[in-house]
Structure 1
Amino acid sequence: MDLLADDVAVVGSSSILLNAGNGPRIDAHRTVVRFNRAQLDGFVSDVGSKTDLLYVAETIIPEKAEAYRRNFATMDCPILTKLDNVDFLVEHGVDPARCYFHKDFEEFVRKRCFSIINRMIDKRYKHKRPPRSGITILSLLLGPKLPEKPVDIYGIEVEDIQQKGWKTHFFARSSAHTYQHLGWHCPPELEFEVLNAMADQGAIRINR
């Protein structure tokens, strides 16, 4: 698929999507990219229903298996993920031809993301932990040069929404899943800095 299409929406799972009514705007994009367990049922008016690429960055564990089963049953799109997930995907009827795997996926993601981060904020990125899925997929989309048309992002925080009492995921039942529990990622403050730098340079357009 053409990840460098000139009309791309990257849709995160932040609860800032709720009650914004952006579903039709998201679905109008030529290419829509979503992440992990993006649950659409019951939220289509705010998050849309179209998915052209699903990026599964996490390892699928038994506790999350049911959510993924539901997604794979309704989404017929390419999946970008790690080799650790191939057995689960095949077991649940996903055609391996739909999947894009990278042997050293995590190392590849780190190197690519860090390169983009260093270019965008013009400083040496030294953190050992990778950013979350939003910046990861944006780094793959943006590549070595800025796009002619900015990538539209929805549902990706560019400021600390936890201070405002928002949930991290729009489909979460509570706000228990906070930034403090995301210890396997780099500090959110760095991500906010990178995203705002991307917007300032015209690489992305932030939709609230």
Structure 2
Amino acid sequence: MRKKTFKLLTFLVLFIFLTSFFLNFSTSGVPTAWFPKQMVLELSHGLRKLIKSQPCTCARCVSQLKVSAWFDQRFNQTVQPLLTASNALLEEDTYQWWLRLQREKKPSNLSDTIRELFRVVPGNVDPALDKKLVGCRRCAVVGNSGNLKDSSYGPEIDSHDFVVRMNRAPTMGFEADVGSKTTHHLVYPESFRELGENVSMVLVPFKTIDLQWVVSATTTGTISHTYVPVPSKIKVKQDKILIYHPAFIKYVFDNWLQGHGRYPSTGLLSVIFSMHVCHEVDLYGFGADSKGNWHHYWENNPSAGAFRKTGVHDADFESNITTTLAAINKIRIFKGR
């Protein structure tokens, strides 16, 4: 038994070394930088996972396969949701697809941008957020639908291990219905809002300047405009900044959206992200309200629905995805009371 363990550990060390060596010296795509200290940290994380990995103990385990052929064709546990220094090598087709999302003019060199990025924010975050070290992690994904009004879901939402919110969603003044707890908040520069001290900001980058903005907003404050004005400085701690992987955005687009819309909404990106980092996923605040209207829970225009048809996202197809996931018991959807 000891010999087998020693061989396995030796193989793991060799695999990590060779993989990092290859990524560092590859001449195609976007090369990653060499981080000796980070290599040691990642090796330590790998060993802890190897020793302490636990099976899912939830009543519903979202990643379980052979329950639905539809799900098995779409879900790929190996795709990493967060960008790190060791997985930042983008394949050429992914890189070109990502560049077209918001048609950025004269994008900066991505390799240089990523190197600068990981001098400022953590570059060694576990892509699965140490999911394997816990037996049952429950995620609440809180959307912005008006169906949250008068729902009294607040305490229920706050009981989850991870509470994921997105864009400009406020909690102050709405705690009874939407809760007060937030662990991860998905934003892009144009949708940023100040976050609580212990909240992890998950930046969803749709263009190169979004990555540059993170560096600028936490240091010099020189970037104040993308295609609209954006905050030049933010108060988020640098070690609380995570980066949504561009390749994961493409995975959601290819596997789940199957080409519908131009790119996924932050809502769908939050759902699929949560399915990869949590064992159990509950959705709140998605879809129309009880009268069929589409609006945000903090707005006073319940007949509004313009944001549903942006020309960028296919809201109907995205809704079908979450509805199907609920029908096969992969997630639960709470539609208000």
Shorter-chain TM band: 0.7 to 0.9
Q: TM-score, normalised by structure 1?
A: 0.75
Match 1:79 to one of 186, 191, 201: 201
Q: What's the counterpart of residue 122 of structure 1?
A: none
**8 Å Cα contact 1:116-1:139 kept in structure 2:** no
Match 2:217 to one of 58, 73, 88: 88
Q: What's the counterpart of residue 152 of structure 1?
A: 282
What is the one-letter code of the residue matched to 1:111? K
Q: What's the counterpart of residue 241 of structure 2?
A: 99
Q: CA deviation at 1:49?
A: 0.2
Q: What's the counterpart of residue 229 of structure 2?
A: none
Matches of 1:177 and 1:17, distance apart in 2:
16
What is the one-letter code of the residue matched to 2:202? L
Question: Normalized per residue, which structure has more strand?
Answer: 1
What root-mean-square deviation, in Å, do the aligned CA atoms of Structure 1 and Structure 2 show? 2.8
Question: Does residue 22 of structure 1 match 2:175?
Answer: no
Q: CA deviation at 1:45?
A: 0.2
Question: Does residue 108 of structure 1 match 2:247?
Answer: yes
Q: Which runs of 5+ in 1 are unaligned?
A: 119-124
Q: TM-score, normalised by structure 2?
A: 0.48
Q: What's the counterpart of residue 133 of structure 1?
A: 266
Q: CA deviation at 1:112?
A: 2.0
Q: Report Cα offsets for 1:148-199 as digits up to 9, x if no partner.
A: x531110011xxx2793534211123254524542222x2110111011111
Q: Which runs of 5+ in 2 are unaligned?
A: 1-125, 206-210, 220-232
Residue 141 of structure 2: SS of its match in structure 1?
strand
Match 1:40 to one of 148, 171, 183: 171
Q: How does 1:116-195 map to 2 (within 5 A)?
A: 116-117=255-256, 125-143=258-276, 149-157=279-287, 161=288, 164=291, 166-175=293-302, 176=304, 178-185=306-313, 187-195=314-322
Q: % of aligned pairs identical?
A: 27
Q: What's the counterpart of residue 189 of structure 2?
A: 59
Matches of 2:254 and 2:259, distance apart in 1:
11
What is the one-letter code of the residue matched to 2:311? G
Matches of 2:289 and 2:180, distance apart in 1:
26
Q: CA deviation at 1:202?
A: 1.7
